[in-house]
Amino acid sequence: MPHAIGISIHTGWGACVVTDGSLRKPQIVHNKVIELLEGAERFCFHRAAEMQPALVKKWLAGLREKALAQARNELAPLLGDVSIGAIVARDGILPDLQSILATHMRIHSAEGLFYRDVFREACGVPCHIVSSNSLDIATLGKLATQPPWGRDQKLAALAALRLQAVRSTRS
């Protein structure tokens, strides 16, 4: 069976786990943290709120291209046998820039959506959005795997394994 990738999104990075097997017998094929943007650039919409409005769209487009190139480069070695992906993030559409910059809460939300969309495009395989609230990492049990292996990696692995389970029941 082809592998699945799970990615748990954060501001500027994602925990990426490629899985095989099932929830009963999970196998972790790859486990990598991928940083897309560093330093203050990570907080792209926070920085945009401080910029001259005329410069923001072009600056954000450049950052998106930079993040997308980094994601593609870092994901390439992981995606060989991957045919489907699960991204642990909030669902929804990135609002227009004026709405985003109107409140601090929207700025935070937009950064999550921004990185979710970058990883989704970079994967090059169909990716499903999975809410972290729908995942109970306790069902994963203990796995012997290479560090890092924290909550984000467990969420990514569980999302990928659940997606594989759904796909195998449809086959």
**Distance from C-alpha of 166 to C-alpha of 72, rounded to nearest angstrom:** 26
Report the percent of the chain where pLDDT is more than 70. 96
Beta-carbon contacts of residue 51 (< 8 Å; ≥ 6 apart): 59
Tens of pLDDT, residue by residue over 19-33, are: 998 888 899 999 999
**What is the Cα gyration radius of the chain?**
17
| Cis status, amide bond into 148, omega within 30 of 0 | yes
> What is the total count of domains within the chain?
1
**Distance from C-alpha of 129 to C-alpha of 116, rounded to nearest angstrom:** 9
End-to-end Cα distance, the chain: 11
Which residue range forms the structural domain that includes residue 7?
A: 3-170
> Token pair of 155, please?
């969420």
pTM: 0.93
Please tell me the predicted confidence (pLDDT) of residue 136. 93
- Given pLDDT bands bounded at 50, 70 and 90, which one contains residue 168? low
**Distance from C-alpha of 62 to C-alpha of 121, rounded to nearest angstrom:** 16
Report the percent of the chain where pLDDT is more than 90. 82
| Average pLDDT taken over every residue of the chain | 93
CATH number of the domain that residue 164 is part of: 3.30.420.10
Q: Which of 42, 29, 31, 27 lies closest to 7 in space, CA to CA?
A: 31
Q: Which stretch of DSSP H or E encloses residue 5?
A: strand 3-10
Compute the average pLDDT of residues 143-152: 84
Please tell me the predicted confidence (pLDDT) of residue 148. 86
